[in-house]
Amino acid sequence: MANHSGVVPEWMADRKIGWSGAIPFVLIHLLAFGVIWTGFTWPAVITGIALYFIRMWGVTAGYHRYFAHRTFETSRVFQFILAFIAMSSAQRGVLWWAAHHRRHHKFSDLEGDLHSPVRDGFWFSHVGWIFVKGAEETDFDRVKDLQKFPELVWLDKYFLVPPTIVGVACVLIGGAPMLFVGFFLSTVVTWHCTFFINSLTHVWGKRRFETTDDSRNNFVLALLTLGEGWHNNHHRHQASTRNGFYWWELDITYIVLKVLSWFGIVWNLRPVPEKVLAEGRAADAERKAGRKPAAAPVDDRGRMPKPAMDPA
């Protein structure tokens, strides 16, 4: 097990690209072009769109808001389902994803942040960091709360199982068109829309809160990623289940979680504190008047205060 206790592990400082690790990534992109030969069928197209939204929701509700930030609670069974849905997007294991994301918040746009577009530019923050030698390791010290579930540890170890099951199911149900359109093409689109949160939401959009990083809110990316585009909100209060803090900020992931809470499938959705909402309204008023809002509170490390329920 990797232990990256230092601010910047040696492998991160070196940033040596392991090109062999890029082979599966490139191969999936090439396979998406298989649609040229298989053609499109309506069932394949519908499946591809459905799998995009289902798996994107798994990434945002599962990987991000549940496993990385623990912003709501659920049963052990549904926890496993969330992990499976998220991992069917082929973004490695649930422990790996959560550990990397927790590091991102701890060092957002600082030296220890592996995918900061402010420091490293668009392409490296979008895809380049994935191929750095050492990035494939999991910092288990950051996910001790998840390691107590052996089924999650197993899934994390065999992270190719969920996407393989989904891919095989596509072949059995709809043949080659559903495999190449419904699975491969849908997977590539899901990847890049997810990666846009790393590469664009710290450089493109509007800042409401004066956080110590360059996070921004972006309506277009919020639509594509079911609510993740409200990134400046999220970096102001990462412990909230809701990224769209106000009624006009569409957050489809939160809406689905809210509906699930009515049926007792999830519960204890963490709200946005009223003081944070008031701070946001005041910041909006200041910007409208042409003034810069006051900086959001920071702790002695220069980072946002860590909410009590946030495990990172």
At residue 310, the pLDDT reads: 45
Inter-residue contact 155 to 161 (CB < 8 Å): yes
Residue 302 lies in a domain: no
How far apart are the two ends of the chain, measured CA to CA in Å? 18
List the domain range (segments joined by +) for residue 82. 10-288
Q: Say what the pLDDT of residue 5 is.
A: 44
Q: What CA–CA distance (Å, rounded) separates 298 from 173?
A: 53
Q: Please write the tens of the pLDDT for every residue from 192-241.
A: 999 999 999 999 999 999 999 999 999 999 999 999 999 999 999 999 99
Q: What mean pLDDT, rounded, does the chain reach?
A: 90
Residue 40 lies in a domain: yes
State the pLDDT confidence band at 290, using cuts at 50, 70 and 90: confident
Assess whether pLDDT exceeds 50 at residue 243.
yes
Domain count, the chain: 1
pLDDT of 298? 64
Note whether residue 294 is domain-resident.
Answer: no
- pLDDT confidence of residue 18: 81
**pLDDT tens for residues 246-270?**
999 999 999 999 999 999 999 999 9
Q: What's the pLDDT score for residue 180? A: 96
Residue 207 tokens, joined? 């800042």
pLDDT > 60? residue 1: no
- Segment 149-173 shows an average pLDDT of 97
Residue 304: is its pLDDT beyond 70?
no
Residue 255 inside a domain? The answer is yes
Residue pLDDT, tens place only, 96-139: 999 999 999 998 998 888 899 999 999 999 999 988 888 888 89
Please give the pLDDT value at position 82: 98
Residue 203 lies inside a defined structural domain of this protein: yes
The pLDDT of 56-77, averaged and rounded, is: 98
Q: Could you tell me the pLDDT band of residue 2, with boundaries at 50, 70 and 90?
A: very low
**How many CB atoms sit inside 10 A of residue 21's CB?**
14
Tokens 């402010």 belong to which residue? 118
